[in-house]
A and B are shown apart, each in its own frame.
Chain A
């Protein structure tokens, strides 16, 4: 399980080292990245990030300069839940086999939906995401 870091106040929160970068292509003032920043800054764990096929994906994962500072994956429309679930499944399988360098705690798996990518082309196939511990953030 991933851990939410304990933050007493905003000043303390502001010492976080951001893991989402500027010069992404979201519109000026778009709240997507405010949310992404706050979610990612809430933990010190390793992260596996995913996004549905929506604004966030097409604005922050553009070749050759994406904006995430953590392992990041985007798969087909509707698969914002299953692609990270697959990644988490590998993490669990390799831990079970003892083949993965045992890092504690386990990575936090976060999937972002919203902006046109919540239900149908977002996290349509959600049961795999709940079987493996994917955290969903709906913008």
Chain B
């Protein structure tokens, strides 16, 4: 965002999250909100990542564990279905992979530069049950 001069912003370092008025924010999903330039939603922390998660929907059971544990609101879940990862806000912490209960996991961490299609094509097979 542009670095503004001293006379170009609201007094008191006050910031507004949205452009204009927002009714019923608790009932409005992120894609339907008019975020202003003064929300971290419009920023990206993608460059923080060393490893990135890749989502393999073939094994996903939509349990929503990854959604509830994601610290960065980066698991996109709509109508109770996991639909993908918000790569602008994901910091690559790997919690989603840790908590994923499927076998094999539906989410795995890969180096940031790796290619999604290649990794999906070579996804690990189901682990044998061990006691």
Contact = CB atoms under 8 A, between A and B. Distances in A.
Interface in A89-126: none
Contacts of B9: 64
A64 B73 contact: no
A17 B13 contact: no
Contact of A17 (B17, B25, B88): B25
Contacts of A12: 80
A68 interface: yes
Contact of B68 (A10, A44, A66): A10
B15 interface: yes
A48 B106 CA distance: 37
A30 interface: yes
Interface in B28-71: 28-30, 33, 37-45, 48-49, 62-65, 67-71
Given A12-B80, A63-B15, A28 B38 contact: no
B15 A22 contact: no
Contact of B65 (A10, A20, A25): A10
Nearest to A43: B26
A29 B95 contact: yes
Contact of B26 (A17, A22, A31, A34): A17
The majority secondary structure among interface residues of chain A is loop
Interface in A15-41: 15-34, 37-38
B44 A13 contact: no
Contacts of B68: 10, 13-14, 34, 38
Contacts of A22: 40-41, 45, 72-74, 86, 88-90
B29 A65 contact: no
Contacts of B40: 21-24, 60, 62, 65-67
B39 A11 contact: no
A11 B68 CA distance: 10
Interface string B3-35: 000000100010101100000011111100100
Interface of B: 1, 9, 13, 15, 17-18, 25-30, 33, 37-45, 48-49, 62-65, 67-74, 77, 79-80, 86, 88-95
23 contacts: A14-B64, A14-B68, A16-B26, A20-B73, A22-B41, A22-B74, A22-B89, A23-B41, A23-B89, A24-B40, A28-B48, A29-B95, A32-B71, A33-B71, A34-B68, A34-B71, A38-B68, A44-B27, A65-B37, A65-B42, A68-B17, A69-B33, A70-B25
